[in-house]
Homo-oligomer: A and B are copies of this chain.
Amino acid sequence: MTTKTPRIAHLGIAVRDLDAAVAFYRDVLGMPAGARETVGDQGVEVAFVHAGEPEIELLHPTRPDSPVGRFLDRRGEGLHHVCLEVTDIRAELARLSALGVPLVDREPRIGAGGHLVAFLHPKGARGVLIELEQKRSE
């Protein structure tokens, strides 16, 4: 985000039934289904559906005490986070930390697709859970 305008990489949506959710976006809205994987560290199974430039990431908990499981208990199914692609995630976290932006992750970790990811805290982002992602290939 320091060297170019940040772009939305994907939009995360928490769901209780992953197959039914993929079917809705694929069969009702006409979006091609993409990769599906389990991110054990986060206790979540994710499925991507293509929606133009950003993808929609459907998130389903693999255990009730995971972040997405707690989100579903608290708020029900719905929009969960927005993911911004960055070129240097460590530099970006340092820049945001220096600005006083509250971070969930001070160090990046491995997320879906093997990319480096880190979350900003919603309390510092007007109620939105923002994920930063540095593509593995970069």
Residues of A that sit less than 8 Å from B by CB: 1-2, 5-8, 11, 13-17, 20-21, 24, 28-32, 50-54, 56, 75-82, 84-85, 96, 99, 101, 122, 125-128, 130
Contact = CB atoms under 8 A, between A and B. Distances in A.
Given A30-B2, A78-B127, A82-B79, A52 B13 contact: no
Tally of this chain's copies: 2
Contacts of A31: 5-6
A5 B52 contact: yes
B24 A125 contact: yes
15 contacts: A5-B51, A5-B52, A6-B30, A7-B51, A8-B54, A14-B127, A24-B126, A28-B101, A29-B130, A51-B84, A52-B53, A53-B53, A77-B127, A78-B126, A79-B80
